[in-house]
Amino acid sequence: MVIRGVTSSYNGERQIAVTNIRVVDDSIQALPSPISVTTAQAAAGSSLGSLVRVTGTVTRFTASNGVVESIYIRDGSGVECRVFIDGYITKSKTIANLAAGASLTATGLSSIDTEGARIRIRDRADIVCTPAQTTTDSSDGSSSTVTPAQPVQTTAGGGVTTASVSLTGTVHAATGTVTTSVSQTTAQNLLDQAKKAEQAGQRAVIELGISGAAGSSVQVALPGAALQNIAAETAAELRVSTHLGVVSFDAAALDAIGQQAAASSVSIQIAKLETEELPEAARQAAGDRPVYRFTISAGGSTVSSFGGGSATVSLPYTPASGEDLNAIVVYYVDAAGSLQTVRGSYNAQTSTVNFVTTHFSTYMIGYNKVAFSDVADTAWYRDAVSFVAARGITLGVGENRFAPELSLTRGQFIVMLMRAYGISPDDASSDNFADAGSTYYTPYLSAAKRLGITQGTGGNLYGPDQFISRQELFTLTYRTLCLLNELPSATARKQLSDFSDAKNVAEYALEAIQALVDSGVISGSDGRLNPDDISSRAQMAKILYQLLSL
């Protein structure tokens, strides 16, 4: 064969722009056989300049002007590689059966461009894509199924529209991990539905429902750019629903994860662990209760925090006989095996333990029953006291007493409020209230002032040893909820005007009490708010219990 053309360079490669091809002898067929490589080898550029062949499962693909340009695949090596289509020898610009979860074999040149290693394809006929199907693992005869991307479904109700897609994962028999992925096209369709919902005045939720055989771990991959787009163009939350549990990310968390992912794929994994994997102290605390590890990886690195955002986790749990439901807690297990209580509670209606976190790691469901001699089982505040004591929000007053009727000071309450919501005290500060002193509440006052939870009582004073009134307590609580963007939705069950002493509410507390009445947090007593009454420890426990167990 004689090829005539003009030589040039492209991204460091020499090439010929062909003007004429003439076959000299069609009996000679000396084309080299392609080198078979794994997706990990292709991603590492292990055979640069050679003709290679790779086979894997489609995780996602990108398109320019409606034409597929890059396809990302992954095989058993666990590393994603890029198949880049550059040129169209055939007239067709489509690839039959291309979808997330489909099996794809590509034959092309192992090369590098500005994005890194790739397999460069000139002829789309060199890409063979087959629909996902059930396959048998020859090692043990078990089967696993991968389902291509499904249509986006939308459901609406209660002011919320959920755009969801159902995914069936591949079960890897050797590891017990269920894996699946979301294509760029599916992610865009989900985003479009979320935008439509918000334009119609609805709150939007994007849900990835993962089904299939029950494994000990579930992993879903999706384009990092999709997370950035969701966060940038909507206020939607992303919900990942699996048989192991449900994880929901707020917009701030999605933005932080997407930025760390850049152009790479994001992998979200939920794994149920054996207690033997924990350090000794944590293993003893866990007993036979479930332990989970949550991981997010992007671009080969672990995403350690959500940049000011948060994730809400819901885990199935069946309480043991006789367990006080209010004493069921969630612990974060740090690298040293120490346990730290996180915000969470058991929901009897859904039979789940729900908690909020600002980072992923290892978490376990625990039990911490704290009983007090002066809290009767029939007391109206009994459940609330059990709840706050189990979480270390307050430890009582000593000698196994809670002192429910004891008046609460402003300093005591700010500490309990910030502990309840996981707001850390300041390590050191030169800008604190003049009467902050040097005691247990000092660093909490500094943080509360800095965050705008309180401006004090005037003259740069906070009055930490003064008893706190109900309206002061409600105001500090309201500002904390606003800071965390966790103000409960209005229920319209009651209005401020329904209370006979509404006129006694101070101007500074009016907005806070109105909002908490609207949301049902404040119910009053005998049709009264009693805004100037001093708050007791029992009342404090009841308010925090109502809010934290919503």
- Could you read off the pLDDT of 324-375 as tens digits, one per residue? 999 999 999 988 888 999 999 999 999 999 999 999 999 999 999 999 999 9
Under 8 Å CB-to-CB from 93, ≥6 apart: which residues? 67, 68, 124
pLDDT at 262 over 80: no
The mean pLDDT value for 104-116 works out to 90
What per-residue string of b and e applies to 409-448 under the rule 16 or more CB within 10 Å gives b?
bbbbbbbbbbbbbbbebbeeeeebbebbeeeebbbbbbbb
Rg, the chain, Cα only: 30
Instruction: Report residue 87's pLDDT band, with 50, 70 and 90 as the boundaries.
Output: low
What are the φ/ψ torsions at residue 509 (nearest 5 degrees)? Answer: -100, -5
Residue 263: what pLDDT? 60
Q: How far is CA 293 from the centre of its chain?
A: 13
Would strands 160-168 and 203-211 be described as parallel, antiparallel, or unpaired?
parallel
Calpha distance 170→147 (Å, rounded): 8
Tokens 């309206």 locate to 471
Calpha distance 513→478 (Å, rounded): 8
What are the φ/ψ torsions at residue 189 (nearest 5 degrees)? Answer: -65, -40
Would strands 116-121 and 80-85 be described as parallel, antiparallel, or unpaired?
parallel
Calpha distance 197→157 (Å, rounded): 11
Calpha distance 108→118 (Å, rounded): 9
Calpha distance 456→183 (Å, rounded): 52
Calpha distance 348→385 (Å, rounded): 18
CA nearest 165: which of 143, 145, 188, 144? 188
> Cβ–Cβ contacts within 10 Å for residue 354, how many?
21
Calpha distance 267→236 (Å, rounded): 19
Residue 6 corresponds to which tokens in the numbers above? 């003009």
Instruction: Report residue 294's pLDDT band, with 50, 70 and 90 as the boundaries.
Output: very high
Residue 185: what pLDDT? 83
Cα-Cα-Cα-Cα torsion 117, 123, 125, 131, nearest 10 degrees, comes to 40
Instruction: Report residue 225's pLDDT band, with 50, 70 and 90 as the boundaries.
Output: confident
Instruction: Report residue 143's pLDDT band, with 50, 70 and 90 as the boundaries.
Output: very low
Residue 142: what pLDDT? 41
Residue 297 Ramachandran class (φ > 0 left, ψ -120 to 50 alpha, else beta) = beta
Comma-separated ranges of CATH 2.40.50.140 domains in the chain: 2-130
Task: Write the CA distances from 27 to 20, 23, 30, 34, 51, integer angstroms.
Answer: 20, 10, 10, 20, 22
Residue 130: what pLDDT? 79
Scanning 391-533, the segments in alpha helix (DSSP H) are 410-420, 442-451, 470-483, 507-518
CA nearest 302: which of 310, 311, 293? 293
Instruction: Report residue 9's pLDDT band, with 50, 70 and 90 as the boundaries.
Output: confident
The mean pLDDT value for 108-119 works out to 90
What are the φ/ψ torsions at residue 501 (nearest 5 degrees)? Answer: -110, 25
pLDDT at 88 over 70: no
**pTM for the predicted model, two decimal places:** 0.70
Amino acid type, 315: L
For residues 334 and 279, is the Cβ–Cβ distance under 8 A? Answer: no
For residues 538 and 385, is the Cβ–Cβ distance under 8 A? Answer: yes
Under 8 Å CB-to-CB from 399, ≥6 apart: which residues? none
Would strands 177-181 and 153-157 be described as parallel, antiparallel, or unpaired?
unpaired
**Among 56-70, 134-148, 169-183, 420-434, where is mean pLDDT lowest?**
134-148
Calpha distance 360→272 (Å, rounded): 14
Calpha distance 109→39 (Å, rounded): 14
pLDDT at 244 over 60: yes
Edge to edge, the sheet with strand 203-211 lists 153-157, 160-168, 203-211, 237-241, 246-249, 311-316, 352-357, 344-347
Classify residue 377 by burial, with Cβ atoms within 10 Å: 0-12, 13-18, 19+: exposed
CA nearest 323: which of 340, 346, 350, 300? 346
**Among 34-43, 60-69, 157-166, 402-411, where is mean pLDDT lowest?**
60-69
Please state, for a pLDDT cut of 70, what percent of the chain lies above it. Answer: 92
Number of H helices, E strands in the chain: 11, 28
Instruction: Report residue 92's pLDDT band, with 50, 70 and 90 as the boundaries.
Output: low
Helices 537-548 and 410-420, packing angle to 10 deg: 20
Calpha distance 237→511 (Å, rounded): 28
pLDDT in tens, 468-518: 999 999 999 999 999 998 998 887 678 899 999 999 999 999 999 999 999
Q: Which CATH architecture has domain 2-130?
A: Beta Barrel (2.40)
Q: How far is CA 297 from the centre of its chain?
A: 12
Element (H, E) at 58: strand 51-64
Residue 145: what pLDDT? 41
Calpha distance 171→180 (Å, rounded): 9
Under 8 Å CB-to-CB from 202, ≥6 apart: which residues? 156, 159, 160, 161
pLDDT, averaged across the chain: 88
Q: How many CA atoms lie within 13 A of 287 on its CB side?
A: 8
